[in-house]
């Protein structure tokens, strides 16, 4: 099984899901490859699956029985909006956190992965603070911590409940996971979800957990690059595949099911409509699969509204995540209703924003819950 950090877990903090960017069904496919071109990749995928547990740690058993406490252990008072980053190096081992190699304000080390992780944490902090006035993951100035070079040829990146962890990939199918800013934003957004809605990582609530991370991962990238909704790629994980793969990214919010179509990996299986919802026990009930449905709804709302997606559609989704309208087991219909209510609360009944959100859910066949 995957070895969690050596540091003791606070007794006030309930168990957390280990949320990884590469879905287990994709790793399983790679693990069964019998092709000399991808021998290293197959071995790496088998190792990655073993490390996180082939049943994916049964994340769904863990609910938020206690609210998570601040990730700033000493509770030192700092000015709101003050970023504090720490990057460690696992040195191809699997014991966290690894060796601290760069803290806030220190110069570059010459290690590209360290620089990418450090900068990516900064871009993610900037979106949440400058746009939504959320002060780090817990809104209490918690440090942002990451570990790079985790494992040997490790084919994943994940949020473990306190830090982001990045593998270097196998070099045949996956490259280093710090290369994608949307991956960094995605993983850190899992932390924000833990400290807000606490969506249980199984079934529809788990797919919404993944969806929220995909949304904010995409928005981190768009905000950093100054892209409008029309200019953005709406891809999550762009740049983590090698040139051997026929694909652009892990997922597409604009067109779920089209991110890759490859002889080795197969075709992106994400559904884009409620009619195609996948019922499965794998992948914690399809959390990486069915997230495509709300992803397309968000993209539709953002595309309809135009301009910078974080200003209106993103604000509505952030309000929904943080305003207490969701429960840990909220389903798609409840989430849809909550986003519509958030649009009304911020922009007014009958507003363009409300209509765009309603049209997005209608596009994907999700009917909002009515009181």
List 56, 211, 288, 353, catalytic entry:
288
pLDDT at 51: 63
Identify the band that residue 47 occupies on the pLDDT scale cut at 50, 70 and 90.
confident
Joined tokens for residue 263: 């002889």
Q: Tens digits of per-residue pLDDT, 113-142?
A: 999 999 999 999 999 999 999 999 999 999
**Is the per-residue pLDDT at 306 higher than 60?**
yes
**Is the per-residue pLDDT at 69 higher than 70?**
no
pLDDT at 76: 61
The 8-class DSSP code of residue 252 comes to: E
Identify the band that residue 72 occupies on the pLDDT scale cut at 50, 70 and 90.
low
Higher local confidence (pLDDT), 58 or 18: 18
**Is the per-residue pLDDT at 218 higher than 90?**
yes
Q: Tens digits of per-residue pLDDT, 177-191?
A: 999 999 999 999 999
Identify the band that residue 170 occupies on the pLDDT scale cut at 50, 70 and 90.
very high
Distances (CA, A) of 324 to 16, 295, 327, 335: 20, 21, 8, 12
Tell me, yes or no, if the two domains 19-194 and 203-363 fold the same way.
no
Judge whether 253 and 299 are in contact, CB under 8 Å: yes
Q: Which residues contact 334 (CB under 8 A, 6 or more apart)?
A: 326, 327, 369
Provide φ and ψ at 103, rounded to 5°. Answer: -110, 175
Joined tokens for residue 287: 């959390």
pLDDT at 52: 55
Which class is 19-194 in CATH? alpha beta
Average pLDDT of the chain, as a whole number: 89
pLDDT at 104: 97
pLDDT at 67: 41
Which class is 203-363 in CATH? mainly alpha
pLDDT at 233: 98
Mean pLDDT value across residues 17-28: 87
- Residue 254 has, within 13 A of its CA and on its CB side, a CA count of 14
β-pair partners for 96: none
Identify the band that residue 155 occupies on the pLDDT scale cut at 50, 70 and 90.
very high
Task: Please give the share of the chain, as a percent, with pLDDT higher than 90.
Answer: 82
**Is the per-residue pLDDT at 16 higher than 50?**
no
The 8-class DSSP code of residue 129 comes to: I
pLDDT at 214: 98
Judge whether 313 and 298 are in contact, CB under 8 Å: yes
Cα gap 229→345, rounded to integer Å: 23
Identify the band that residue 73 occupies on the pLDDT scale cut at 50, 70 and 90.
low
Longest CA–CA span in the chain (Å) reads 60
**Is the per-residue pLDDT at 156 higher than 80?**
yes
Cα gap 32→10, rounded to integer Å: 39
Task: Please give the share of the chain, as a percent, with pLDDT higher than 70.
Answer: 88
List 94, 172, 187, 194, catalytic entry:
187
Cα gap 120→84, rounded to integer Å: 13
**Is the per-residue pLDDT at 105 higher than 70?**
yes
Q: Where are the domains of the chain?
A: 19-194, 203-363
Mean pLDDT value across residues 73-78: 62
Mean pLDDT value across residues 73-89: 84
Q: What one-character-per-residue DSSP string does 139-185 give?
A: TS---EEEEES-SSS---EEE-SS-EEE----SSSB--GGG-HHHHH
**Is the per-residue pLDDT at 205 higher than 80?**
yes
Identify the band that residue 161 occupies on the pLDDT scale cut at 50, 70 and 90.
confident
Nearest to 42 by CA among 153, 156, 149, 148: 153
Exposure class string for 153-180: b at 16+ Cβ within 10 A, else e: bbbbbbbbbbbbbbbbbbebbbbbbbbb
pLDDT at 13: 32
Note if 288 is an active site residue: yes
Judge whether 236 and 363 are in contact, CB under 8 Å: no
**Is the per-residue pLDDT at 192 higher than 70?**
yes
Q: Tens digits of per-residue pLDDT, 315-356?
A: 999 999 999 999 999 999 999 999 999 999 999 999 999 999
pLDDT at 57: 33
């Amino acid at each position: 099984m995957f070895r969690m950090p050596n540091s003791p877990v606070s007794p006030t903090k309930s168990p957390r899901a280990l949320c990884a960017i590469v879905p287990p069904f994709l790793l399983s496919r790679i693990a069964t490859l019998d092709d000399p071109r991808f021998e290293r990749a197959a071995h790496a995928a088998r190792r990655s699956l073993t490390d996180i547990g082939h049943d994916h740690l049964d994340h769904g058993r863990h609910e938020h029985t206690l609210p998570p406490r601040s990730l700033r252990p000493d509770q030192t008072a700092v000015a709101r909006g003050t970023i504090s980053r720490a990057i460690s190096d696992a040195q191809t081992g699997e014991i966290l956190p690894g060796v601290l190699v760069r803290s806030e304000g220190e110069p570059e080390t010459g290690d590209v992965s360290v620089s990418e992780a450090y900068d990516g944490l900064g871009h993610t902090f900037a979106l949440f603070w400058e746009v939504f006035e959320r002060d780090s993951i817990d809104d209490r100035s918690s440090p942002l911590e990451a570990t790079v070079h985790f494992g040997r040829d490790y084919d994943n990146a994940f949020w473990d409940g306190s830090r982001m962890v990045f593998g270097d990939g196998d070099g045949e199918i996956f490259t280093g996971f710090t290369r994608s800013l949307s991956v960094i934003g995605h993983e850190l957004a899992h932390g924000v979800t833990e400290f807000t809605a606490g969506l249980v990582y199984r079934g529809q609530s788990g797919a919404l957990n993944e969806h929220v991370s995909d949304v904010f991962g995409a928005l981190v990238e768009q905000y950093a690059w100054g892209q409008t909704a029309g200019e953005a790629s709406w891809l999550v994980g762009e740049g983590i595949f090698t040139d051997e793969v026929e694909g652009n990214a892990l997922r597409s919010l604009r067109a779920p099911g089209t991110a890759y179509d490859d002889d080795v990996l197969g075709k992106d299986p994400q559904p884009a409509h409620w009619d195609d919802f996948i019922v499965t026990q794998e992948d914690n009930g399809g959390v990486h699969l069915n997230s495509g449905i709300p992803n397309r709804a968000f993209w539709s709302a953002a595309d309809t509204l135009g301009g910078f997606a974080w200003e209106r559609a993103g604000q509505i989704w952030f309000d929904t995540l943080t305003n207490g309208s969701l429960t840990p087991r909220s389903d798609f219909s409840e989430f849809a209703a909550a986003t519509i209510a958030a649009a009304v609360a911020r922009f007014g009944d009958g507003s363009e924003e409300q209509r765009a959100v309603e049209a997005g859910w209608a596009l994907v066949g999700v009917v909002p819950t009515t009181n």
